[in-house]
Amino acid sequence: MSAAPTAEILLAEDNPQDLELSRRALRKTNLPHRVHVARDGAEVLDFVFCEGAHAGRRIEDTPKVMLLDLKMPKVDGFGVLKRVKRDPRTAMIPVVMLTASNDEDDVLNSYRLGVNSYIVKSVNFDGFAAAVQVVCTYWLLLNQPVRLRE
């Protein structure tokens, strides 16, 4: 069995409309990238930790950035963030909370759990697309990632 290809972007989104907007915005970046979509928090964790349907992946093949929705079924964004950031194998994955919530407690809790950035989804497509384009350009092109040594 060959290993699954590496995804540069892990997009965690359960809302079909927001998912389509995110995909459109990512296409508009014109950046070469592979996206893996997870529709709930349990699928995010399976992907990141190479479990379940993703057991063929190598944990070292982490995404360059995770775009994480806060309000997801099965495991919410806080639960995903907590598990990803406490494991030394995955703690360095940049996580951007991309959510509709602008609640101060959600922002504070996200940063306390180790989120790298917190972005409130814009209600119009142009604003949303611009935010996704800036985020992806930064994390895929400009940011120098840390690679853990074995």
Torsion of CA 84, 18, 23, 97, to 10 degrees: -30
Number of domains in the chain: 1
Task: Compute how many other C-beta atoms are within 10 angstroms of the C-beta atom of residue 33.
Answer: 16
Q: Which two tokens stand for residue 18?
A: 């927001």
CATH at residue 117:
3.40.50.2300
The answer to whether the CB of 53 falls within 8 A of the CB of 107 is no
Q: Which two tokens stand for residue 89?
A: 């194998």
**What tens digit of pLDDT does each residue of 68-107 get?**
999 999 999 999 999 999 999 999 999 999 998 999 999 9
104-111 long-range contacts, CB within 8 A, separation 24+: 106/70, 109/78, 110/70, 110/77, 110/78, 110/81
**146 occurs within a structural domain:** no
Q: What's the pTM?
A: 0.87
**31 occurs within a structural domain:** yes
**149 occurs within a structural domain:** no
**69 occurs within a structural domain:** yes
**What tens digit of pLDDT does each residue of 6-37 get?**
668 999 999 998 888 888 888 877 776 788 99
Domain membership of residue 31 as a residue range:
9-141
**150 occurs within a structural domain:** no
